[in-house]
Amino acid sequence: GENVEQHPSTLSVQEGDSAVIKCTYSDSASNYFPWYKQELGKRPQLIIDIRSNVGEKKDQRIAVTLNKTAKHFSLHITETQPEDSAVYFCAASGNTDKLIFGTGTRLQVFP
Amino acid sequence: IAGITQAPTSQILAAGRRMTLRCTQDMRHNAMYWYRQDLGLGLRLIHYSNTAGTTGKGEVPDGYSVSRANTDDFPLTLASAVPSQTSVYFCASRQRSTGEQFFGPGTRLTVL
């Protein structure tokens, strides 16, 4: 079955710097790759997603890149702000539509 | 109801007791899911349902059962709770057109 690995587990950056979180997946049939943000004590919420027919997608300060050949995808946050502090999860799914999540990255943005 | 709700918000349960976690959505999504979230392990799929009347096993189904009698409700039952089932449980439903999963607020369960 699908396996998703996520790195790093924790990431600390200065406000205004960029943050990058990387994920790899094992199932070459996977075609949908969402990223969720979870603030402390809250539910996960989708922030951006990408499908396998696209190499990059951007939404204001966040972007996701996908390398199908290498089976990895990354989340990029530019000009980080304290409110970006949260746990971020990557996930992958294929024809079964079941999401397999990575183990999460705790991002801390220091003012 | 707006979106997806779960009940109870939290529960402390004695080992061996039976417990049902409730999940209801009003978005008419066909697919629904139950996850458990444990520190360092992310979100792991327990059971899922692609449509009313059908269910399937996820990554960690042992000790749990689900039913899907209608589109809106997807309860998760622990027949005989054990301490290793202490976790935060999230229910989710999927919007077919976009693939996005919407999560409920979660239930924090402690089994003593």
Q: How does pLDDT run across B24-43, given as a tens digit for each residue?
A: 999 999 999 999 999 878 89
Q: Under an 8 A CB cutoff, do A6 and B42 touch?
A: yes
pLDDT above 70 (res A88): yes
Distance CA A100, CA A23 (A): 12
B104 to chain A: nearest residue by CA? A43
Query: CB-CB: which of B42, B59, B99 is closest to A32?
Result: B99
pLDDT (tens digit per residue) in A8-62: 999 999 999 999 999 999 999 999 999 999 999 999 999 999 998 889 999 999 9
- Through-space distance between the first and last CA atoms of chain B, rounded to whole angstroms: 32
Distance CA A102, CA B22 (A): 26
All residues of chain B having their beta carbon less than 8 Å from the beta carbon of residue A102 are 42
pLDDT above 60 (res A81): yes
**The 3-state secondary structure of B36-79, one letter per residue:** EEECCCEEEEEEEECCCCCCEECCCCCCEEECCCCCCECCEEEC
